[in-house]
Amino acid sequence: MLHIRKRAIAIFFVIIIGFPWIAEHIPAITHYPDVMVFAGIYSLITIGLSLLLGYTGQISLCQAAFYGIGAYVSGILTARYGLNSWLCMAIGMIFSGLVALLVGPASLKLRGHYLAMATMAFGIIVSVILNQEVDLTGGPDGMTGIPMLSLFGFEFDTTEKYYYLVWAFVFAAFIFSVNVVQSGTGRALRAIHSSEAAASAMGINVLRFKVIVFIYGAMLASLAGSLFAHYLNFVNPSTFDVSFSIKLIIMITLGGMYELWGAIIGAGLITFLSYEWLHFFEEFEIVVYGAILLLVTIFLPKGLVGIPGIIKRWFRS
Amino acid sequence: MKESFNKNILELEKVGMVFGGLLALNDQNFQVKMGTIKAIIGPNGAGKTTLFNVITGIFPPTRGTICFKGKSIQQLKAHEICNLGISRTFQTVELFDNMTVLENVMVGCHTRTRSSFLASGFAFPRTRRKETHIQSKAIGILEFIGLKDKMREPSGSLPLGDQKTLEIGRALATEPDLLCLDEPVAGLNETETKVASSLIRSIREQGITVLLVEHDMKVVMNISDEIMVLNYGEKIAEGPPEEIQNDPKVIEAYLGGNE
């Protein structure tokens, strides 16, 4: 059930590598690699969220906050203080991890709706800070002048180069998470999801594992934020508000939160829907998301990645 | 063997538990001798499960001390108590139903062979070797409890008898010195009950002390070395099965006496 096949990962790898080349040759989708950069950035966050919500069973409505912290730490330290971009990325991740360590233990003692409320409150606090601390963050107008990324003189100055950079990170995060999920740690996380009482009776330090996964998700979101800031060279607080946290939940619900593939598929689909395919609906876009969430939870509780299983069962009976 | 037989593995001293205004346990003293099977019986609501929850750290007792192998554990968390060597099953089966039979037992191995989040993520060779070791250990346990043939099945699809057995197997995987069984044969048919009883006996033969709560008197009288009777949070009798069977206070508690 949990075995993630090496062949599937290899095929996925080839598709990701070949995609820009294919897109280049089909006129209607030449700009798709740009959308895929965002899909990759969101995938980083949803992979962390999948581990937290899908595997460990703990909801978080503050992933956008860590995403914002990463973006702003990178933005402020590079644009204002001229620090090395990669160093700032690491600082952002460490800082987000520390914040998660501060917020996590208190909120993760709560369950269900209460956990959702607590994490949402934290998300709102971060959002308010980003809006109100005008001297530091530039306030609602956002901040500009965030430099491009470069590594040893190699500039990530085209969409294609950035695409490969982002997806390299996604791959690393994906493989790391697959390893976690398939190890004893992953079993401990699923045990917590199933029964906290039984998990702790088996010697699993429930709170500790929840906090570790929360920190991991926060650090991935922060990394995504830094990549976002360096790609657009501009950040503004509305990107990181609570509604984006909810959108992230929709992503993994659609893709399927009980398998890591679902995180990437969901992030990819929702990104394309909101950047490309749903322009027609304009401000009613949100209604479409609502409908998606409703339909998926009723008919596909395991998300899109659950479809092969449903088909298999059909054929058997 | 004779020597350890007289040593107490678990000692409770004046353990009391109050929920709100409700007295669930009233300053209980009791001991479990190493290497024995001790049963706790009593009518519904007598405080048996509360006693279990207090011993295994689901919640700390309101007062009193609990000593396990000479160490006081009443302030420890459930997972710490498990690490020290107390494991348990649950009255209502609490299997990890999102996992296979084998995986359930493998979770039980966690406490002896855990690895860090980072080591798991980077899949260090050491972590992988551990994984193979855990798997073969878990298969060994499934063989012992007789569920090896079903190891790939989802645990939720097993019949109740197997589920209860699997819970015992999962608890054994933590390598306990004391195993607490909360109604291990409740809801089982006669054949399943016999299998479970002989499993519990063979667990004791491995040197593991067993503390059990059970309503099935036949089982209790058959397998226990010692029995304690609880009623309304109070101990009303304690002793070997023959003595308990004839104790007028016990008969009164069960059948109701003239007030």
A212 Cα to chain B: minimum distance (Å): 8
Give the distance between the most distant pair of CA atoms in chain B.
70
CATH architecture of B1-85+177-188+204-259: 3-Layer(aba) Sandwich (3.40)
Task: Work out the pLDDT band at B259, boundaries 50, 70, 90.
Answer: very low
* Predicted confidence (pLDDT) at residue B73 exceeds the cutoff of 70: yes
Tokens linked to B93: 């089966």
Q: Do B82 and A201 touch (CB under 8 A)?
A: yes
pLDDT tens column, A178-233: 999 988 899 999 999 999 999 999 999 999 999 999 999 999 999 999 999 999 99
pLDDT tens column, B154-175: 999 999 989 999 999 999 999 9
Nearest-by-Cβ selection for B79 from A1, A200, A212: A200
Q: Looking at residue A222, what is its pLDDT?
A: 97
Q: Looking at residue A76, what is its pLDDT?
A: 93
* Predicted confidence (pLDDT) at residue B179 exceeds the cutoff of 90: yes
The yes/no answer on whether domain B93-175 falls in CATH 3.40.50.300 is yes
- pLDDT-wise least confident of A73-87, A115-129, A153-167, A281-295: A281-295
Q: Looking at residue B2, what is its pLDDT?
A: 43
Cβ contacts (< 8 Å) between B136 and chain A: which residues?
none
- Give the C-alpha separation, A312 to A307, whole Å: 9
Task: Work out the pLDDT band at B180, boundaries 50, 70, 90.
Answer: very high
Share of chain B above pLDDT 90, in %: 46
The answer to whether B1-85+177-188+204-259 and B93-175 have equal CATH topology is yes
**Minimum CA–CA partner of A215 in chain B:** B117
B85 Cα to chain A: minimum distance (Å): 10
Nearest-by-Cβ selection for A202 from B82, B100, B115: B82
Cβ contacts (< 8 Å) between A204 and chain B: which residues?
79, 107, 110-111
B244 Cα to chain A: minimum distance (Å): 31
* Predicted confidence (pLDDT) at residue B3 exceeds the cutoff of 60: no
Name the one residue in this structure whose structure tokens are 């204002």: A80
Considering only residues 166 to 195 of chain A, which have any Cβ-Cβ distance to chain B shorter than 8 Å?
176-177, 179-180, 183-188, 190-191, 193-195
Confidence (pTM): 0.91
Nearest-by-Cβ selection for B99 from A176, A190, A201: A190
Q: Do A177 and B121 touch (CB under 8 A)?
A: yes
Residues 6+ apart with CB under 8 A from A227: A41, A44, A89, A165, A166, A169
pLDDT tens column, A6-33: 888 888 899 998 888 888 888 888 788 8
Q: Which of A202, A209, A219 to mutate to probe the B interface, most B CBs <10 Å?
A: A202
Q: What is the ipTM, given to two decimal places?
A: 0.88
Cβ contacts (< 8 Å) between A185 and chain B: which residues?
114-117, 120
The residue ranges of every structural domain in chain B are 1-85+177-188+204-259, 93-175
Q: Does residue A14 or residue B126 have the better pLDDT? A: A14
Q: What CATH number should be reported for the domain whose range is A6-316?
A: 1.10.3470
pLDDT tens column, B99-115: 999 999 999 998 777 77
Q: Which of B83, B110, B135, B151 to mutate to probe the A interface, most A CBs <10 Å?
A: B110
Name the one residue in this structure whose structure tokens are 């491009």: A148
Cβ contacts (< 8 Å) between A179 and chain B: which residues?
120-123
Cβ-based neighbour number of residue A28 at 10 Å? 7
Task: Work out the pLDDT band at A145, boundaries 50, 70, 90.
Answer: confident
Task: Work out the pLDDT band at A4, boundaries 50, 70, 90.
Answer: low
Q: Looking at residue B230, what is its pLDDT?
A: 85
- The chain-wide mean pLDDT, for chain A, equals 91
Cβ contacts (< 8 Å) between B171 and chain A: which residues?
201-202
Share of chain A above pLDDT 70, in %: 99
Q: Do A190 and B122 touch (CB under 8 A)?
A: no
Interface residue B120 vs chain A (CB under 8 A) = yes
CA B66 and chain centroid, separation: 16
- Amino acid in the structure at residue A29: I
Task: Work out the pLDDT band at A278, boundaries 50, 70, 90.
Answer: confident
Q: Looking at residue A268, what is its pLDDT?
A: 94
Q: Looking at residue B6, what is its pLDDT?
A: 64
CA B162 and chain centroid, separation: 16
Task: Work out the pLDDT band at B1, boundaries 50, 70, 90.
Answer: very low
Q: Do A179 and B100 touch (CB under 8 A)?
A: no
Q: Looking at residue A3, what is its pLDDT?
A: 56
For A45-82, b where at least 16 C-beta lie within 10 A, e where not — what string?
bbbbbbbbbbbbbbbbbbbbbbbbbbbbbbbbbbbeee
Task: Work out the pLDDT band at B256, boundaries 50, 70, 90.
Answer: low
